[in-house]
Amino acid sequence: MQLTAPVIRVAPIPSAHPYVRHVLTGGGIDLLPDPPPPGAPDGRWWPPVMCDAAWVTANRNDFDVMHIHFGTESFPAEHLRSLVRALRTSGRPLVYTLHDLENPQLIDQAQHLEHLDILVPAADAVVTLTAGAAAAIRRRWGRVAEVVAHPHVLALDADAPAGRRSDAAVLGVHLRDIRPGTDAVRAVATLLDAVDRLRAQGVAAVARVQVNDRVRDEAAREIVTALVAAHPAAELHRSERLDDAALTRSIADLDVAVLPYRTGTHSGWAELCWDLGVPVAGPRVGYVGEQHPEDFAAFDAGDGDALARAVRRLLAAAPRAGSAGRAARLTERRRRRTTDAAAITAAHTAVYKRVLAAPPAPADLAAPLEPAELAA
């Protein structure tokens, strides 16, 4: 008689984030839902309620392993030290996926680095998305991180539009709400310079800049607006925050997507572009280029000539928006994403089984932890 493997109950932080849902698509894993934060509207998971020592102590019989992805910026460092102590006292292992060596939501990285100095050494297992990030983790903390690729961003059952064909190659940058990690003015100025260079070389190209009505940096948006208005081959699309379907269509219409990053480590945006068959040009920031190197061309931020050369390489290798080749590429990428989803889920499940099978942390590690101890 074959016994069914026990379900592993995971307390994910957060549970509702699409990334978390997409890395665990198979059976054998039960994700606890996000407890609603006091006073938060429906569907909002932050600040994450499970990321709390008192919650761990009160709910330790309801989960087997905690897995932190996002949301720690809501808390001071001592809050995370208390969380680690509670997990050790309760005998519950911690898995930490290090998405960002630099947090693109923050200007001052000091708190984020302090959090990493707590969570990376304390975790029973560390996961990251690229070999480059894993090497950085090993250099800084001496930890060997499990490398598990980023999953799909576009839902596997969602429409994947092939975009609309245009006579000129459309090079687009989405600034969204201009968060701290977005180098909006330099990104747009570099894009416009690249368009000028391409047109001078006989390549029909236009720039398309998308930005939200509500942004975090209004001064930057006004400069961007003036730059685009003064350029004969550029257009500004300003709107409310695009919903998923509108965002998908907006990206699909591009021949090349240009990333506007100032800081960061990995990119969910690059993954969504890959889902949609759109090649990406990005500045040399973090390890984004390792996510899909066959579909990515790097340039130095501020260097319009380098961006123009990157765009030419991508246009020569990728099918244009609205073409039969783009449609075929979408079909192949959906197939690959479906296959990869099972492997990504299996990799996470293996990590959970490994930490659950390991001996519990020594009792003396349940004592208060200081930064020096955690970094040892």
pLDDT in tens, 22-79: 998 777 999 999 999 998 888 899 999 999 999 999 999 999 999 999 999 999 999 9
How many residues are there in the chain?
A: 376
Comparing 35-49, 293-307, 325-339, the range with the smallest average pLDDT is 35-49
Structure tokens at 111: 């708190």
The reported pLDDT for the residue numbered 25 is 75
Any domain includes 120: yes
Which residues are CB-contacts of 104 (< 8 A; sequence separation ≥ 6)? Answer: 179, 180, 181, 182, 261, 262, 263, 264
Nearest-angstrom CA–CA distance, 241 and 17: 18
Helix (H) or strand (E) holding 31: strand 29-31
pLDDT 10s digits, 152-197: 999 999 999 999 999 999 999 999 999 999 999 999 999 999 999 9
141 DSSP 8-state letter: H
Any domain includes 331: no
Q: Residue 364: pLDDT above 50?
A: no
Q: Tell me the pLDDT of the chain averaged across its residues.
A: 94
Same domain, 132 and 205: no
Q: Residue 369: pLDDT above 50?
A: no
Query: Per-residue confidence at 362, pLDDT binned at 50, 70, 90?
Result: low
Structure tokens at 342: 């099972």
Same domain, 274 and 241: yes
On whether the CB atoms of residues 94 and 38 are closer than 8 A, the answer is no
Q: Residue 137: pLDDT above 60?
A: yes
Which residues are CB-contacts of 187 (< 8 A; sequence separation ≥ 6)? Answer: 173, 175, 258, 259, 260, 261, 283, 301
On whether the CB atoms of residues 179 and 216 are closer than 8 A, the answer is yes
Q: Residue 1: pLDDT above 50?
A: no
User: Residue for token digits 């092939």?
Assistant: 162
Any domain includes 332: no
Q: Please compute the mean of the pLDDT values over residues 330-353 and round it to a whole number.
A: 97
Any domain includes 100: yes
Any domain includes 361: yes
Q: What's the domain count of the chain?
A: 2
Nearest-angstrom CA–CA distance, 356 and 373: 23
Same domain, 173 and 234: yes
CATH of the domain at 126: 3.40.50
The reported pLDDT for the residue numbered 212 is 98
The reported pLDDT for the residue numbered 27 is 72
Q: Which of 255, 262, 279 is nearest to 333 (CA)?
A: 279
Structure tokens at 362: 């020594």
Which residues are CB-contacts of 280 (< 8 A; sequence separation ≥ 6)? Answer: 256, 257, 258, 259, 270, 273, 274, 288, 292, 295, 296, 297, 314
CATH of the domain at 219: 3.40.50.2000
Nearest-angstrom CA–CA distance, 145 and 130: 10
Any domain includes 105: yes
SS3 sequence of 245-292? HHHHHHHHCCCEEECCECCCCCCHHHHHHHHCCCCEEEECCCCHHHCC
Same domain, 82 and 32: yes
Nearest-angstrom CA–CA distance, 374 and 95: 15
Any domain includes 329: no
pLDDT > 70 fraction of the chain, expressed in percent and rounded:
95
* Domain residue limits at 270: 169-322
Same domain, 314 and 261: yes
Torsion angle of the four alpha carbons 97, 103, 105, 108, in this order, in degrees rounded to the nearest 10? 150
Any domain includes 335: no
pLDDT 10s digits, 276-290: 999 999 999 999 999
On whether the CB atoms of residues 204 and 169 are closer than 8 A, the answer is yes
